[in-house]
Amino acid sequence: MSISRRTLLTTFAAAPLASLLPRPAFAAYPDKAIRLIVPFAAGGNADLVGRLMSEGMSPSLGQTMVVENRAGAGGSLGAGQVASAPPDGYTLLIGSNGPLTVNPFVQAKLSYDPIKDFVAIGLANLAPHAIVLHESIPAKTVPELVALSKRQPITIATSGAGSAGHMTLVRFIAATGANLTHVPYRGGATLVPDMLAGTVSGGMTEMSTALPHYKAGKLRIVAVASAKRGALAPDVPTMIESGLKDFLAASYVGILAPAKTPPDVVATLEQALIKALAVKALQDKFLATGAELVAESLQNSKGFGDYIKKEFANSAEAAKAAGLKPE
């Protein structure tokens, strides 16, 4: 069948207009697998959350979410890769304290701006921080710990200088006036053996890290920095109950996309996240680790975005108090 010259010219004339049509005119998002970048090695909390969210969100999206671990530089390597990825919704970041609101104050040469180079999708997980003591330390409450620290040396471990736990410890010292000596370790798992052995007096760490040893009677959780007591340790008071007004601190994990990702794509991902977080089976898995469920107001783009900005300001204040400078 021959094509007339008029038909051919009409087809060519319409072609430029097709390139101006909005993206949904071609294919509904998503139409292929989505990469979910975890900027840490497998096995940690961020990796666990990433894999659970991949399983929970994929059915709503109708596409597979592939988890990829891109560890290095305290999470900055993977975060930088996502920041420079095409803003099309097919490369996402499992973001947490380190790459978003800690590293900017301890690493001099970040390849990204955590505020400007990402758009938040939603917050997925909160692991409250807790101050933990070896059983040999007689203090059982925050006031007792503060008083004891002024009579004898008390050493408190964190997962590293400039870590999320260190930032919380600095805030705790400023709020209480406690005379505590910071002992930085290289990662959350490395400080646990020394806490159990009594090599250090205690630690500022995630509730999820302390909980198994608390249940075994080997560590005492003095207070947790959450809004309410945890279901798995209802006898442990909050920092607020212990006299520290509005004192909240947690290791958080959420999902982000590169800046300039289309609003409709952000909305699609946001709704898939909200739907996944409403499933009781997923909630039970989070609660079993000692995490707390995320408020609905933080599960969306605006809520998580505002949360990151607040955490950024808290870290800036703590870094200044601790005399930390980017290196």
Element (H, E) at 172: helix 164-176
Q: What letter does residue 82 receive in the DSSP assignment? A: H
What pLDDT does 277 receive? 98
Q: What percent of the chain has pLDDT over 70?
A: 92
pLDDT (tens digit per residue) in 152-180: 999 999 988 888 999 999 999 999 999 99
In tens, the pLDDT along 139-152 reads 999 999 999 999 99
Domains 33-126+251-322 and 128-224 in one fold: yes
- What is the distance between the alpha carbons of residues 185 and 191, in angstroms, rounded to a whole number? 6
CATH class of the structural domain 128-224: alpha beta
Domain boundaries, the chain: 33-126+251-322, 128-224
Residues 71-94: b if buried by 16+ CB within 10 A, e if exposed? bebbbbbbbbbbbebebbbbbbbb
Mean pLDDT of the chain: 91
pLDDT at 45 (0 to 100): 86
- Strand, coil or helix: what is 212? helix
Q: Which of 107, 52, 55 is nearest to 79 (CA)?
A: 107
pLDDT score of 44: 82
Peptide linkage before 30 cis (omega within 30 of 0): yes
pTM: 0.84
264 token code pair: 């409709």
Q: In 207-290, which ranges are E strands?
A: 219-224, 250-258
Among 211, 217, 33, 216, smallest CA distance to 129 is for: 211
Contacts of 47 (CB under 8 A, 6+ apart): 38, 40, 41, 67, 69, 94
Q: Is residue 314 exposed (0-12), middle (13-18) or buried (19+ Cβ within 10 Å)? A: middle
pLDDT at 245 > cutoff 80: yes
Mean pLDDT of 250-261: 97
Work out the average pLDDT over 241-251. Answer: 95
Which pLDDT score is estimated for 179? 97
pLDDT in tens, 23-80: 444 579 999 999 999 998 888 889 999 999 999 999 999 999 999 999 998 899 999 9
User: In 3D, which of 72, 66, 65 has the Cα closest to residue 111?
Assistant: 72
pLDDT exceeds 80 at position 12: no
pLDDT given at position 300: 98
pLDDT at 275 over 50: yes
Q: Which of 13-17, 97-101, 194-198, 319-323 has the lowest mean pLDDT?
A: 13-17
Query: pLDDT value at position 269?
Result: 98
The arrangement of secondary structure in 33-126+251-322, i.e. its CATH architecture, is 3-Layer(aba) Sandwich (3.40)
